[in-house]
């Protein structure tokens, strides 16, 4: 029940004792602010680091063929393994954990020209799926599609830097470039989602359909490596194991041979970073909650002092007919009100500052490697607020009980 009189009584007391109120509120305010701020900064650090990994990296692996290390079924060690498009089809058919397959065949430093300009570029033979597996984005036009593959079209998607080199400000779409003397029609421009040092090659390469490339340049239809993504809810390491086992069987490789089929995924590295952030987060929570607790203990402490200071007042109130319940309620409501208000202000300031940093970074396009889009954990904030009200009650309870037990005779004794 909202008791207007009680609140007027409490507001009156608070208004007349501003310094006391501010001192009480400060600890809680700072505690909540620190909690929100620390968690916000932690989230910024986390999203910054994960942005470096690239969003699609988590469920991705690479598989390639290499020399075997063990003799098996009459084959000697040191045999070269070549992965073919048949292997690709077999994986697609037999390993349900695999979501997408992106084969890649490379021709390094091939002579490419457009009108009077020329350069040596890496040519990649691919399937359309590659743009979805690797952190790539189409900047203009389109990537490869199924028709390109089915009709073995001579089309090319050029990296953004190469496009600039050949076409400058002009749009390259529909133009023809010569790759090793063969004309390819440019259908799109692509680049990495995030420009990182190890992704620079994505801006320079030229992508063509895999089968067009093999046919046009007289290459065997083998692939250098495959990028594979596991289906959702499947750990990539599980898919990896099955893919490698399948390829080993298909190529007559000893099941225990560490070579023959090369493979790699970053799941473990990501797991490590995830664990690191779990650690950092727990630490931040620990510090934040510790600060908060210190604030609450501070409130309790100050309330105790206040009760001491108000002994006489409480004695007078009791002599005038205040029940112990009304005294407890008075001290408790004051305590809860101060903690809740201070906590709310801390929450507000923390949110404003973290949001402000996020906004400023966005508005002024500030980019750092390890910090991105800090976010306030609203659930944590509201949780902290609820906790504060409970804590305010507990913080006020001991002083309130003490206040209620004030002996009016002692309290009113004249010094």
Partner 1 sequence: MIQLKAIHKSYQTDYNSLHVLKGIDIDIKEGDFVSIMGSSGSGKSTMLNILGILDKYDEGEYFLDGHLIKNLSQKQEAHYRNHLLGFVFQSFNLLAFKTAKENVALPLYYQKVDRKERQELALEYLDQVGLLDWADHYPNQMSGGQQQRVAIARSLISKPKVILADEPTGALDSKTSEDVMNIFKKVNKQGITVLIVTHEDEISRMTNRVIRLRDGIIESS
Binding positions for partner 1, rule: CB under 8 A: 4-5, 8-9, 12-13, 16-17, 312-313, 315-326, 404, 408-409, 412, 414
Q: Name, in order, each residue with C-beta under 8 angstroms of 179's C-beta and a sequence gap of 6 or more.
A: 110, 111, 112, 121, 123, 156, 206, 208
Whole-angstrom distance, CA of residue 369 vs CA of residue 362:
14
Nearer to partner 1, 12 or 356 (CB): 12
C-beta of 25: minimal distance to partner 1 in Å?
18
Reduced to 3 states (helix: H, G, I; strand: E, B; else coil), residue 179 is strand
Least distance to partner 1, CB of residue 43, Å: 45
* Least distance to partner 1, CB of residue 339, Å: 22
Residue closer to partner 1, measured from CB, 324 or 355: 324
CA distance 210 to 148: 10
Q: Is 5 or 365 the residue whose CB approaches partner 1 more closely? A: 5
Tell me the Cα Rg of the chain: 34
Closest distance to partner 1 from the beta carbon of 327 (Å): 9
Q: How far is the CB of 17 from partner 1 (least distance, A)?
A: 7
* Minimal distance, residue 28 CB to partner 1, in Å: 23
Closest approach, Cβ 6 to partner 1, in A, equals 9
In angstroms, what is the minimal distance from the CB of 409 to partner 1? 5
Question: Minimum Å distance from CB 315 to partner 1?
Answer: 8
Q: Which is nearer to partner 1, 10 or 247 (CB)?
A: 10
Based on CB atoms, which residue is closest to partner 1, 76 or 321? 321
Q: Choose between 270 and 412: whose C-beta lies nearer to partner 1.
A: 412
Nearer of residues 181 and 321 to partner 1, judged by Cβ: 321
**Any idea how long the chain is?**
415
Alpha helices in 54-99 (DSSP H): 85-94
- Gap between the Cα atoms of 205 and 201, Å rounded: 6
Q: How far is it, in rounded angstroms, from Cα 54 to Cα 374?
A: 17
> Of the two residues 9 and 140, which places its CB atom closer to partner 1 in the complex?
9
Q: Which residue has the tokens 């994986």?
A: 91
Task: Give me the least distance between CB of 411 and partner 1, in Å please.
Answer: 9
CA distance 134 to 36: 35
Distance CA(56)–CA(5), nearest Å, equals: 60
Cβ atoms of 141 and 164 closer than 8 Å = no
137, exposed or middle or buried, with CB in 10 Å at 0-12, 13-18, 19+?
Answer: middle
Whole-angstrom distance, CA of residue 351 vs CA of residue 345: 10
Query: 256 or 415, CB closer to partner 1?
Result: 415
Q: Classify the phi-psi angles of 396: left when phi > 0, otherwise alpha if psi is within -120 to 50, otherwise beta.
A: alpha
Q: Distance between CA atoms of 79 and 69, rounded to whole angstroms? A: 8
Residues 6 or more apart in contact with residue 341 via CB below 8 angstroms: 25
Closer to partner 1 by CB, 211 or 311: give it: 311
Instruction: Say how far apart CA 221 and CA 87 lie, in whole Å.
Output: 11
């Amino acid at each position: 029940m909202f008791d207007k009189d009680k609140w007027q009584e409490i507001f009156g007391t608070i208004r007349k004792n501003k310094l006391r109120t501010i001192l009480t509120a400060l600890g809680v305010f700072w505690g909540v602010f620190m909690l929100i701020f620390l968690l916000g900064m932690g989230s910024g650090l986390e999203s910054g680091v994960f942005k470096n990994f690239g969003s699609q990296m988590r469920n991705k692996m690479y598989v390639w063929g290499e020399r075997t290390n063990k003799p098996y079924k009459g084959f000697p060690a040191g045999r070269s393994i070549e992965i073919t498009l048949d292997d690709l089809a077999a994986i697609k058919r037999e390993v349900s954990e695999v979501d997408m397959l992106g084969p890649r065949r490379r021709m390094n430093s091939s002579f490419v020209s457009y009108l009077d300009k020329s350069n040596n570029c890496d040519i990649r033979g691919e399937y359309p799926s590659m743009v979805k597996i690797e952190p790539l984005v189409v900047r203009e036009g389109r990537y490869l599609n199924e028709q390109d593959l089915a009709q073995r079209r001579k089309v090319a998607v050029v990296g953004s830097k190469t496009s600039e080199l050949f076409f400058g400000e002009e749009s390259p779409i529909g133009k023809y470039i010569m790759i090793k003397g063969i004309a390819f029609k440019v259908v799109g421009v692509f680049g990495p989602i995030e420009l990182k040092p190890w992704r620079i090659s994505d801006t320079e390469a030229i992508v063509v359909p895999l089968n067009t490339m093999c046919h046009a340049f007289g290459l065997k239809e083998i692939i250098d490596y495959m990028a594979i993504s596991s289906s959702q809810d499947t750990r990539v390491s599980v898919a990896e194991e099955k893919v490698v086992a399948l390829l080993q069987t298909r190529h007559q490789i000893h099941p225990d041979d560490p070579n023959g089929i090369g493979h790699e995924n970053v799941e473990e590295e990501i797991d490590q970073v995830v664990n690191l952030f779990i650690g950092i987060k727990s630490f931040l929570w620990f510090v934040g909650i510790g600060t908060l607790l210190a604030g609450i203990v501070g409130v309790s402490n100050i309330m105790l002092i206040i009760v001491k200071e108000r002994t006489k007042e409480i004695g007078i109130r009791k002599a005038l007919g205040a029940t112990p319940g009304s005294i407890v309620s008075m001290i408790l409501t004051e305590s809860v009100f101060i903690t809740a208000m201070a906590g709310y202000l801390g929450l507000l300031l923390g949110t404003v500052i973290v949001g402000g940093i996020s906004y400023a970074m966005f508005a002024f396009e500030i980019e750092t490697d390890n910090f991105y889009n800090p976010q306030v954990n609203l659930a944590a904030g509201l949780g902290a607020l609820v906790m504060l009200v409970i804590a305010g009650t507990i913080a006020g309870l001991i002083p309130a009980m003490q206040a209620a037990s004030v002996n009016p005779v002692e309290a009113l004794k004249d010094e």
